[in-house]
Chain A
Amino acid sequence: MSVSTFPSEQDTTPGYQLCARDRQLILATQAGLPLTTDPWATLGEQLDMPADEVLARFQRMQEAGVLRRVAAVPDHYRLGYRFNGMTVWDIRDEAVSAMGRRVGELSFVSHCYRRPRHLPWWRYNLFAMVHGTSQREVEEKAAQISNLLGDTCSGHTILYSSAILKKTGLRLKKQGDA
């Protein structure tokens, strides 16, 4: 992204431009990587691209940070983590970066972000996602975060999800789509 209101995001401006062939690869792997001994060759056959070019493009996108990683992404809900708590914290502005890094290092936190406040409606500036097999487990984990934050934090709450209404991965439009 070239325009950002937030200075911390400016250094993630892409130096790597996705070309049409990269986009083809992204589209072709949205449902996943082929589960074959040579997945790059399988993709290459589908897209009429040599296997070594497919692999080289993936490696380049990963080096450039366009591709975060290739992974076996578990479905936490199906695994038994039925409680997903978005814990939100009101942290003193000058402490939020340091605290965010420490909370992000906790083994049970899956996402941790700083977001803006919108006073008087929304006072919380740190978000940490916590998963548990019970509400009590989420609360125990939130208590650990609370201990870590100490007096840098003046309030928090936990927003439990009551329904997943939509969940899809990143979608890139095919060329020519509206």
Chain B
Amino acid sequence: MRLDSTDKQLINLYQRDLPVCERPYLEMSRQLGISEGEVIDRLQTLQSRQVVSRVGPVFEHRRAGASLLAAVAAPEEQIDLVAARINRAPGVNHNYAREHTYNLWFVMTAPDEDTLDERLDELEHQLRLPMLRLPMVEGYHIDLGFDIDWEALS
């Protein structure tokens, strides 16, 4: 999808924060110098083309429950099977294959710490693979995205 300068500006300005006020899209329209209706249309188009994955609230996982990044080193010939088992496990919300000895990286979530440990223990037992458990000790920049380099993309 080709983005015009208004689309780019919209993403630049609101990828991290949009106003939580009575008429948020009206507020955005004033900053962008277009009408409220156009802000809504553009957001709809960006969302339907999946350039914007969603316009909405981002909740703090750590306050809504517990989560942890984990990794396993699956034997190359079993990677699909292991990945499928991980995806089926309750609480798994991300799973990435990565090029490394530890080749499957996933995020396990649970309503509380005890349930999280139980879920990880259960999955580790099922997979029969040692699991690297990498909880966040400190966050320095948490999921705020980054500045889009439009020139590099064009």
Contacts and interface: CB of A to CB of B under 8 A. Distances in A.
A36 B138 CA distance: 38
Interface string B72-95: 000000000001001100001111
B113 A166 contact: no
Contact of B17 (A18, A30, A71, A165): A71
Interface residues of A, number: 87
Contacts, number: 253
B52 A114 contact: no
A80 B153 CA distance: 6
Interface of A: 1-6, 8-9, 12, 14, 16, 18, 26, 29-33, 35-40, 55, 58-59, 62, 64-76, 78-81, 86, 96-97, 100-101, 103-105, 107-116, 118, 121-122, 127, 131-133, 137, 157, 159-173
17 contacts: A3-B112, A31-B54, A39-B25, A71-B16, A75-B51, A75-B52, A78-B50, A86-B98, A111-B143, A113-B140, A114-B136, A115-B135, A122-B134, A137-B152, A159-B99, A170-B59, A172-B64
Contact of B137 (A75, A103, A115): A115
Interface in B103-137: 104-106, 109, 111-114, 130, 132-137
The size class of the interface chain B forms with chain A is: 35 or more
